[in-house]
Chains A and B, each alone.
Chain A
Amino acid sequence: MTGTTIFTGVFVSVGGSTTISLPFGADWIEVWNGTNIDGNVANGGRYWYQAWNNGINIINGQGLELQGNAGATAVNYIAGPVGAFSLTNTSTAVPGAPVALTAISNAAPPVVATGSTVGLSTNNGVVEIINTTGAQQLGGMTFSVGTVIGNTSFTLKYMPAIVAGTNGFYRIIPFDPIFYPRRRFITAITTGATTQIRMSVDTTYTVGQLVRVVVPAAYGSISQNINGLTGTIQSIVTATNTVTVDINSTGMGTFTFPLTAAVPFTQAQLSPVGSDAPDAGETSNTLLDATLNTAIAGITLQGGTLDSPGGQNGDVIYWRAGSTFQDTGNVYLGGTGVF
C-alpha cells in the first residue's frame, strides 16, 4: 500500500515523560511545543523523529530538534536529547534487571536497603522481591514503592511488618497486567461486619466491582472461612490501598502472613469477577469482568527539560504522527520492483 496514515493530538505536559498511544503503528512523529513557540523561545519548539522499518532511527532515538541561537538570528536542526523519543509497547515490556538488596527490615512498612534505587521515585513504581534470605515469603510478589531514599532504601508501601530478611534482589516491574481489572496480592485482611482487604500494589478497583477472596491455608485460620467468597467493593481507601467488601467476616479467624519457612505456597489474592452493576457501555452484568485491554503501543516523549519533546510542566504540546508505507517492489510479481 502506498500512502500515509496521520494522527494528531495535543496534551499539556506534566513535566515528565508522556506516552502517546498510537495503535496504528506510527513510525514518525512531529512535535511542536506551543508554549515555547508562543514565548519565542529559541529552543524546544519543534522536534522530528522517524523510526524506519529496518530499525534505524534518526540519531538513535534522539530525533531532531529545531534550535535557534540566542538572538534568534539563525535556526538549525540538531540532534535532540538522548532518549528523547522511544517506541513503547506496554504489552511486551519486560521486568528490569535484578538489583541487589542487603536487607528488608521488620518495620511497617518494611524498608528495603539497597545501593541502587535507579528508576525508583517516592510513591512511584512497582518492584518484585526475589530470593531474600529470611524473607522468602515475599519472593515473586510485587509491591508498590513508598518512600525512596536515593541509592539507600525504599519502602514496600502496603506491606505489614515481617521478620527481617537479609540479602536478596529486587527488580522493577515496568508494567501492570494489561487486562483490567487485575488480580492483586493480598497483604492484610481486617475482619468485621465488613471486611477490609489491603493489596500490595496500588489498586485500580472501583466501588461496585465484585471480587473473589482467595486465601490459601498458609495464611492462617481465616483461610477455611473466607477462601472463595465474593464480595462487592463498598469503599476504597487510597492511602492504605484497602478495599472494603460486603463480607461479614466476624469470627472467621485471623489473617497471618506466612513466614519464610512456609515457602512454597500459594499467595493470597483478590480476583475481580464482575460488578454489581453494568459498567459503562455494558447492557447487562451477565459476564464477568477483566475485559479491558489497557496495553499501549505508541511513542514516549521524554519530558521535564527545555530541550525535550515532552516539554516542561504546563507546556502545551502539539503532535502529529503517522505511518508511511512505501513500495519496495520486493513483494510483487517478479520481485524486481518492476512497478
Chain B
Amino acid sequence: MEARVKISHFTHKQKTVGDNFVRKSFATNILGSEAVSQHNIALFLLDDEIRFNDRQNIVQHWASSLPVINRSGELLFTGPSISRIFRTAKSIFKPYYDFLVATSYFKHAMPLKAIAIFALFNIANIQATFSVNKACKISYLPNFVMCSEIYDFPHDYPLINNYTVINEKIHGERLSEKTRKGCDSLTSGRKPEREIRRGFPATQVVTKVTEMVLNECAARLGVSLRQTEDTLISTMLASTASFINCVGGVNGDNPTEITRSDVDTVVRALLNNNAYTVLDNIEGEDRFGTAPVRDAYFALCSTQLTGSGGLDSVTGFIQKTQYPSPMNSLRSEWGSIGNLRFLVSSIGSYTPNASNLGANVYNIFCTGIEAYAYIEQDGYSASFIYRPPIYDGPLALNASVGYKFAQVPRITNDLWVINLRATLAV
C-alpha cells in the first residue's frame, strides 16, 4: 500500500510537468519529493530479465484469450534502448482492453540517459515498495500491469490510475527481497538484479503479490480462515464453558433479555474468580456526550444483540462513539456496559431454540485475560498453500490455493470465562 500512495502522489505531480517523457522524468525527480526520486531509482534497479521473461508468457496467454495486436517480436522490445522513450505504447499496441494498454507500457524501460540523471542525486536509504509476480501464475495479466507500474509510471497519467486501483488489491507479501533467501527463491533470471542492487546496499525493495485472482482468493481464504477459527472457539466455549442465564429481564423467557443486573452478576463472578480485565479504562474528558469507560472484560457476542432489543437498551450502555477517545475502541466493538466491553460478530455464537419459550439463546462469552487459548498442533499455525499450475498436470493449466491449520481451542482457566446467555427483548 505504501507504493500506491507514493505513485499516486507522484502522478499528481507528474500531470503538471508535461508530455515529453525525458522532461517529465527529469523534472519529476527534480520537482518531486526526494521520496519519489528514490522510488524511481529503486524501481529502475530491477532486472530486465523479469519483464522479458514475463513478456514471453503473456504473449502466449493473450493469444488465446484476449484480442490484441501482438507485436511482441519486434526489435523495439529486444533490449534496453533509449529509443523506447520516443515510442508510446498506444502507437505500438492497439489492445481492446484497458489492462492491455497498461500492460503494453511495460515494454518501455527507463532510459539510460534518465538513469544517469537520477544517479546524480546520489540516492541513499531508499525504501521503496514495488510489486512483481514471479511466484504467482494464476494469471499473468495483472503481473504485467505491475511491471508497467515499475517501469513506466512516468509515462501516462491515466494508466497510472489503473495501477492504483489494482494496487488496492495488494494483500500480503509473498517474497521478501530484503533477504538473500528471498532472492534465492526466485528464478535464476533475478540474479543480475541482485547483483545490481548490491551496488546500492541501501536499496530495499519489498516484493508483493499483485496477482488479482490470487489476491482475491487469498483475501477470501483469509476471511474464511479467521471465521473458521472464531467458529471453532465459540463452539468450544458454547459446548463446555459454564453459563449464567440472564434473569433480570421482563420478556418472560428463560433466559431473559440482558439487563444491567445480569452484567453486574457476571462481572462479579469474574472478579470473584480473580480474572484480570483485558482492557484498561478510558479516562473521561471534557467532551459533550462522552463518558469514561471502565477497565473491562471482553464480552464476545452476536450482532443480533445490537440495537434496542439487546445491548443498547441496557442501563449504563455506552456506545463506542461516546467514548472519550473513540480511537481506543476496537473495530468490532459495539459499546460497553459496566466492566464489559462488547465485541460483536455476525458469526457470534447462539444456541437455536434453546430458551424456555423456544427462542434463540445468544451466548455472550465474558472473558478475562488468558481464559482460553488456541493451541497450534505440530508446530505450525495456519498455512496458506499455493500450488502453481505446473503441479496440476502436463499442460500446467490450473493453479490452486487453500489453507490448512491444525489448531485446538482450549479453555485455560474455566473460572475466567463465563457464558452469559440471553434472549432478545420481545
Residues of A within 8 A of B (CB): 1-2, 91, 94-95, 98, 128, 130-131, 136, 139-140, 169, 171, 177-183, 212, 214, 263-267, 269, 271-273, 287-291, 293, 327, 331-334, 336, 338-339
Contacts and interface: CB of A to CB of B under 8 A. Distances in A.
A140 B239 contact: no
Given A265-B247, A271-B414, A338-B65, A139 B239 contact: no
Contacts of A291: 236, 375, 408-410
Contacts of A139: 254, 355-357
Given A288-B412, A288-B414, A179 B373 contact: no
Contact of B361 (A140, A266, A289): A140
A128 to B, nearest CB: 7
B235 A179 contact: yes
B398 interface: yes
Interface in B97-142: 138-141
Contacts of B139: 332-333
B7 to A, nearest CB: 25
Contact of A264 (B213, B245, B373, B392): B245
Contact of B352 (A94, A212, A266): A94
Pick from B242, B246, B247 the residue with the most CB of A within 10 Å: B242
A267 B245 contact: yes
A287 B243 contact: no
B182 interface: no
B392 A293 contact: no
Given A271-B414, A288-B413, A178 B235 contact: yes
A266 B262 CA distance: 11
21 contacts: A98-B353, A98-B358, A128-B354, A136-B254, A139-B357, A140-B354, A140-B356, A177-B238, A179-B240, A182-B239, A183-B241, A264-B253, A265-B245, A273-B411, A273-B414, A290-B240, A290-B411, A291-B408, A327-B397, A332-B138, A339-B397
Interface string B237-260: 011111111110100011110000
B376 to A, nearest CB: 13
A183 B61 contact: no
Contacts of A272: 240
A263 B414 CA distance: 26
B369 interface: no
Given A136-B254, A271-B414, A288-B414, A181 B398 contact: no
A25 B387 CA distance: 20
A169 B358 CA distance: 9
Interface residues of B, number: 49
Interface string B64-88: 1110000000000000000000000
B325 to A, nearest CB: 36
Contacts of A332: 138-139, 213, 398
A98 B353 CA distance: 10
Contacts of A287: 373, 375, 410-412
Interface string B398-421: 101000000011111110000000
Contacts of A212: 242, 414
Contacts of A169: 358
A266 B244 contact: yes
Interface in B323-368: 352-358, 361
B122 to A, nearest CB: 43
Nearest to B253: A264
Nearest to A273: B414
A334 B65 contact: yes
From A128, A130, A332, A333, name the one whose CB has the most chain B CB atoms within 10 angstroms.
A333
A140 B375 contact: no
A130 B358 contact: yes
B232 interface: yes
Contacts of B242: 183, 212, 214, 269, 271
Nearest to A91: B235
B247 to A, nearest CB: 4
A271 B253 contact: no
B357 A264 contact: no
A214 B273 CA distance: 14
B393 A2 contact: yes
A336 B413 contact: no
Contacts of B236: 179, 290-291, 293
Contacts of A334: 65-66
A97 B355 CA distance: 14
A298 to B, nearest CB: 18
A177 B410 contact: no
A272 B373 CA distance: 16
A40 B357 CA distance: 55
A234 B356 CA distance: 33
A265 B253 CA distance: 10
Given A128-B354, A131-B356, A214-B242, 12 more contacts: A177-B238, A179-B240, A183-B239, A263-B356, A266-B243, A266-B244, A287-B410, A288-B412, A290-B239, A290-B411, A332-B213, A339-B398
9 nearest CB pairs, A to B:
A139-B356, A177-B239, A290-B240, A264-B254, A179-B239, A334-B65, A266-B245, A264-B247, A333-B139
